[in-house]
Amino acid sequence: MIYFQVLANGLILGGLYACVAVGFSLVWGVLNVINILHGTFVVLGAYIAYFGYVHLGIHPFLSIFIAGGLLYGIGYVIQAGLVNRVVAAPVLITLTLTFGLDLILNNSMIVAFSADYRQVNLANPLPALMLGPVFLPGDRVAAMILAFLLTALLWRVLRDSRIGRAIVAVRMDREAASLMGVDVGRINAVTFGIGALMAGAAGALLSIIYPISPITAPIYLGKAFIVCVIGGLGSVPGAMIGGLALGIVESFGAYWFGPEHALTLSFLLLLVLLFVRPGGILGKKGYE
Amino acid sequence: MPHFLIRAAAIAATLSLPTGMAFAQEAIRIGAPLPLTGPLSPEGLKQQRGYDLWAEKVNEAGGIQVGNQQHPVEIIYVDYASNTPRAVQTAERLITEEEVNFLFSPFGSGAAKAASSVSERYGIPTVAATASSEQVYDQGYEYLFGTFTPNSTLTEPLADIVTGANADVTRVAILARNDLFPLAIAEEMERSAQSRDLEVVMFERYAIGTMDHSAAVTQMRAAEPDWIFATGYINDLSLIRRQISDQGLDPAVITMIAGPAYREFIEATGDLANGVSSAAWWHPAVRYEGEDIFGSTVAFNEAWEAKYGAEADYAEASAAAAGAILQLAIEQAGSLEPGAVRDALASLDVETFYGHVNFGETGQITTLEPPVFQIQGGRPMVVYPEAIKQSDFVFGD
């Protein structure tokens, strides 16, 4: 059955979308900051994995830790040093700030790495799995599974760790959290750092799948946007469901109506949801 | 722009220079709006490399001979950030404010067509180095000249080679980027296939910026093609190539335009690049002797290697050729007067390192014989035309 293949394609794609979007969703939901830098963070993670593999022979899957760690540091510094100064301002101000920072970082990457496309070519790629008539590309499936694990890990951290509860508390009520002794400024920086960490880790995973270039950053940002609106802001399960829904809609849409309409369909879905469920499929309840 | 203004500017420029110097001729100014940043920047930078090499050669030789004087050339680059409307504004600004004598078109068929109306209005001879679609040249414009032959000159020899060598190839699946050139050449391929009684079992377009082709490839798998023909640019095609093998598809022929001619494509796809066929307007393996500043393809290749440490691809060579051709026309005209140079371009009939140059009625070059090649052992090997063939076409299983 060809539909199983189409479904499998959609699930794999959706898992990757979820991983790209979850950090963006977290930052938007907790800090009320629309982080335009997110797409560029993803690409930076991919570059770290690329250079790690080409020059040092580090497998891109291991680079998740390196890219995640570096991006966490960058994210923390950006929030603590810059965004925190205007974090209470209307959302347009923070959006403009991250937009400006994105122009600087993205163009610096073009200067440093050029806009040429690069790709990680694994010396020993995983073979494709065949489940009856369904082909599952090995590396993509592995990347998707890791993406799910990472996302699940983030969910556990938010639910069960002290810092995670503090983040959720800030998301629920900034003032109340502050009164309870939560250092809101630091939690903001940690949250932004985690958002960047997830972007960097997603980038490392994607480096074995997609061509890498600074100019692909807006594409990742656009996907993250749609996933957040579909799934609901600031919740890990929301990003997960939003990502999977987007992947499946795109996959079936492209199969039924032709690939050039896949994008149109995902935006139609976005519009419909904005009318029917403006809070996303999971709404605003699922804080974790 | 009215001619007297250019003259006035030229006189003013001459007067301001100290007289009596041997190298006192003012430079010939050529405007080059290019996408140096943004999604098309890899292509824009290729064009810039081509123009730069040509300008360097010209200035090393003392300049372009105009009548009994030598003029150095100066190329004025303006980045239009891959934004076509801005390319048109930039072209106009180059003509009115920078007062350029000539123009090189922005990248690709779409932008070249859009900007050509500006240079036509001001009567500035314009050479398009990377515009192949016939729709660019069908506007009756007199000042636009292009160095790529029409798209059909790529698909026809390809279809001949494939059908001539393998009668089992009967089913063609076409996947095209929904963009002026990639779509135009895909439609040309459809015509070339149908005229040879090949069955086009799939024809789909994908949107610009598509990040996943698995649905299209699944559709392809269902259509069971012997020949996959995909169009787009390097990033699209390397992704499509990978996804074709992800789903276990292994047709007899995979053709991709335009990307495989660039080393970036081979680097990005690794082993999967092998067996991919393509066609382009030029290839470093062609061998021509020319009257242009480079003299021959061999000499051009050497000059390129010396400056950039790599082989030139067709877009880079075409940009260098655009300069060399403009130079020949200026020398023949013996003047910088735009009308005279335009007439010289229109009547040009010369050999160059890039091939025989003669612009047809519409201004598009008609005399190139685009080579067909296939990537074998990580290198693009010419399989057609016979005269410069490096290898035989190899079919997949």
Contacts of A116 in chain B (CB under 8 A): 42, 264
Asked if A119 reaches chain B (Cβ–Cβ under 8 Å), the answer is: yes
| CB pair distance less than 8 Å for B268 and A130 | no
Q: B-side interface with A, Cβ within 8 Å?
A: 37-39, 41-42, 45, 175, 178, 204-207, 209-216, 218-219, 221-222, 234-235, 238-239, 242-243, 246-248, 264, 267-271
Residue B71 forms part of a structural domain: yes
Residue B199: phi and psi, rounded to 5, are: -95, 125
| CB pair distance less than 8 Å for B178 and A137 | no
- Is the same domain home to B7 and B133? yes
In the block, residue with structure tokens 């692909």? A216
Using CA atoms, how far apart are residues A12 and A202, in angstroms rounded to an integer? 14
pLDDT at residue B397 in the model? 67
- Is the same domain home to B132 and B203? no
Contacts of B215 in chain A (CB under 8 A): 6, 9, 250-255, 259, 262
Distance from chain centroid for Cα B97: 28
pLDDT at residue B257 in the model? 92
Contacts of B246 in chain A (CB under 8 A): 128, 135, 137, 140
Residue B144: phi and psi, rounded to 5, are: -105, 130
From the list B213, B222, B264, which residue is nearest A259 (CB)?
B213
Residue B265 forms part of a structural domain: yes
In a mutagenesis test of the A interface, which of B34, B211, B224 is the best target, namely the one with the most A β-carbons within 10 Å?
B211
Residue A114 forms part of a structural domain: yes
Question: For the domain that residue B106 is a member of, what is the CATH number?
Answer: 3.40.50.2300
Task: Kindly report, residue by residue over B341-355, the tens digit of the pLDDT.
Answer: 999 999 999 999 999
Using CA atoms, how far apart are residues B4 and B22, in angstroms rounded to an integer? 26
DSSP H or E stretch at residue B306? helix B297-308
- Is the same domain home to B261 and B297? no
DSSP H or E stretch at residue A264? helix A262-276
Residue A188 forms part of a structural domain: yes
Residue A283 forms part of a structural domain: no
Residue A284 binned pLDDT confidence (cut-offs 50, 70, 90): low
The SS3 of residue A284 is: coil
The amino acid at residue B52 is: D
- Is the same domain home to B255 and B327? no
B253-257 and B276-279 strand pairing: parallel
Residue B365 forms part of a structural domain: no
For residues A212-230, average pLDDT: 90
Residue B160 forms part of a structural domain: yes
- Is the same domain home to B213 and B328? no
Using CA atoms, how far apart are residues A226 and A249, in angstroms rounded to an integer? 12
Q: Nearest 5°: CA angle at A219, between A228 and A251?
A: 70
Residue A233 binned pLDDT confidence (cut-offs 50, 70, 90): confident
Residue A210 forms part of a structural domain: yes
Task: Kindly report, residue by residue over A90-101, the tens digit of the pLDDT.
Answer: 889 999 999 999
Residue B10 has pLDDT above 80, yes or no: no
pLDDT at residue A229 in the model? 86
Question: For the domain that residue A248 is a member of, what is the CATH number?
Answer: 1.10.3470
Residue B382 has pLDDT above 60, yes or no: yes
Residue A287 forms part of a structural domain: no
Structure tokens at B179: 């963009």
* Closest alpha carbon to B155 in B168, B174, B170: B174
For residues B131-141, average pLDDT: 92
In the A/B pair of chains, how many CB contacts fall below 8 A? Answer: 110
- Is the same domain home to B383 and B240? yes
Number of alpha carbons in the 13 Å side-chain half-sphere of residue B116: 27
CB atoms within 10 A of CB B159: 26
Q: Which domain holds residue A32?
A: 2-276
For residues B41-45, average pLDDT: 86
Residue B255 forms part of a structural domain: yes
Contacts of B231 in chain A (CB under 8 A): none
For residues A143-148, average pLDDT: 92
- Is the same domain home to B158 and B259? yes
**Local structure of residue B371 (DSSP, 8 states):** P
Using CA atoms, how far apart are residues B59 and B377, in angstroms rounded to an integer? 39
Q: Is the peptide bond before B322 cis (omega within 30 degrees of 0)?
A: no
- Is the same domain home to B201 and B292? no
CA distance readout (Å), B90 to B55, B101, B107, B125, B236: 21, 15, 13, 16, 28
CB atoms within 10 A of CB B7: 12
The mean pLDDT of chain B is 89
* Inter-residue contact B32 to B320 (CB < 8 Å): no
Structure tokens at B146: 């292009």
- Is the same domain home to B239 and B379? yes
Using CA atoms, how far apart are residues B361 and B140, in angstroms rounded to an integer? 9
The amino acid at residue A65 is: F
From the list B37, B205, B238, which residue is nearest A119 (CB)?
B238
- Is the same domain home to B272 and B209? yes
pLDDT at residue A264 in the model? 83
List Cβ<8 Å contacts ≥24 apart for A273-279: A273/A229, A273/A230, A274/A229, A279/A232, A279/A233
Task: Kindly report, residue by residue over B259-317, the tens digit of the pLDDT.
Answer: 888 888 888 888 899 999 999 999 998 889 999 999 999 999 999 999 999 989 999 99
For residues B189-202, average pLDDT: 95
Using CA atoms, how far apart are residues A148 and A42, in angstroms rounded to an integer? 16
The count of domains in chain A is 1
Residue A258 binned pLDDT confidence (cut-offs 50, 70, 90): confident
- Is the same domain home to B27 and B125? yes
Q: Which domain holds residue B218?
A: 152-280+371-388
| CB pair distance less than 8 Å for B235 and A117 | yes
For the question of whether the overall pTM of this predicted structure is more than 0.90, the answer is no
Residue B395 forms part of a structural domain: no
Residues in chain A: 288
The count of domains in chain B is 2
* Closest alpha carbon to A126 in A4, A52, A208: A208
Task: Kindly report, residue by residue over A128-144, the tens digit of the pLDDT.
Answer: 888 888 888 888 899 99
How many angstroms away from the CA of A90 is the closest CA of chain B?
Answer: 30
Structure tokens at B239: 């992704």
B144-146 and B102-104 strand pairing: unpaired
Residue A288 forms part of a structural domain: no
